[in-house]
Amino acid sequence: MTERHIILGVTGGIAVYKAADLCSRLVSAGFQVRVVMTPSAVKLISPKIFLTLSNHDVLTDLFTEHEAKPEHVHLATWGDALVVAPCTANFIGKYASGIADEPLSTTALTFWGPVLLAPAMNDNMWASPILQENLAKVVRVLGARTVGPETGHLACGTTGKGRMSEPADILAAVQAMFA
């Protein structure tokens, strides 16, 4: 495999703990990984975890620039694929509507390569017609692919569809994108 660059978007869903495992698995599989986190994700998990796992700076703020080019623009040209895991209903709604108000949404709207979304949310949110409409739009208009969600125990205490796919399954979907 030639070295591939993955932009790993991390949103503020409780499944964020699985994103650290996914980052580690991507790096172990030979991918270069750069992580972009939403403000909500930063409240749930430290960017230092992703810095350590990816060996790259983590983009968490639109207004801290280290180079002349805005970081979200640089990442969009650097990346071969964008993977958003966990992918919340909030992110799907922003992406479908073209809203770019934080690091991940601006990076996503600037990126023109393959996109893989790993939805993770409450089963009622997943079943919401507006969420399904937004997801269909992202798939139809932007060509995004999805992996999951799965049915299982959810953080809210219920069992239903909305559980983020396991990191091994997401890694397999990423590898299939380049096969």
- The catalytic residue positions are 156
Residue 78: name the closest of 53, 119, 107, 120 by CA: 107
Q: b/e per residue, 106-143, with b = 16+ CB within 10 A?
A: bbbbbbeebbbbbbbbbbebbeeeebeebbebbeeeee
Beta-bridge partners for 145: 116
CA–CA gap between residue 86 and residue 4 (Å, rounded) = 21
Residue 105: name the closest of 178, 17, 33, 40 by CA: 40
Residue 85: name the closest of 175, 160, 158, 7 by CA: 7
CA–CA gap between residue 12 and residue 87 (Å, rounded) = 8
CA–CA gap between residue 119 and residue 131 (Å, rounded) = 11
